[in-house]
Amino acid sequence: SAAGPARAEGEGARHEEGPERPGKALSPEEEAKVLDFLRENAPEMARHLEGARRERPEEYRRHLPELAKMTRDPDMRVVFIKNANSEAKVRKAAEAVRRAEGADKDRLAKELETALGEQFDAKLAQQELQVKKMTEEIGKLKARIEARRAKKAQMVKKRLADMTGEGDGLDW
């Protein structure tokens, strides 16, 4: 929570509070960047999101921060684009199979199967990258915990001084 204990000097990196945190809206500039990125790299998704903005604003507000988080990270952008492109390819191929007949249907079904394999690989790559990012975050959190554990006595004394009015008064 925002009103947590005072931090000791040298405690380690502060956890970044990005706009993708629940309850935090994106700035109009960030929102425009996300929409521009989607229009350029995932036009179908951009159209869907813009429709949600008009017709289902709660859905729009729910999805936009996660999309913003993905578009900020260069590695995530790459897998996101692959995933969005493979999804669009599968959707088109599935529609073509549904409309086709005879030998065309068999040929298009094989193309759909190939597209589904590519989509599977794209989703798997995205999940693997998410695991990698989470593992990095866990490592950072463990380091912060160890730093706090090592400075427990110092932090408790500082907090005690702050709470009893005997602190230096320099913290916010």
Report the chain's terminal Cα–Cα distance, integer Å.
15
25-74 pLDDT tens trace: 789 999 999 999 999 998 888 998 999 999 999 988 888 998 898 888 89
| C-alpha 171 chain-centroid distance | 32
Render pLDDT for 70-121 as a digit per residue (tens, 0 to 9): 888 899 999 999 999 999 999 999 999 999 999 999 999 999 999 999 999 9
Task: Give the CA dihedral 55, 57, 59, 60, nearest 10 degrees.
Answer: 100
**Locus of tokens 């001084």:** 161
Using the CB atoms, write b or e for 94-129: b if 16+ within 10 Å: eebbeeeeeeeeeebeeebeebeebbeebeeebeeb
pLDDT of residue 171: 60
21: tokens are 């945190």
CA 1 remoteness from chain centre: 21
pLDDT of 21 higher than 60: no
Distance CA 94, CA 92 (A): 5
- Given 3-state DSSP classes, what are the helix, strand and coil percentages for the chain, each rounded to the nearest 5? 75, 0, 25
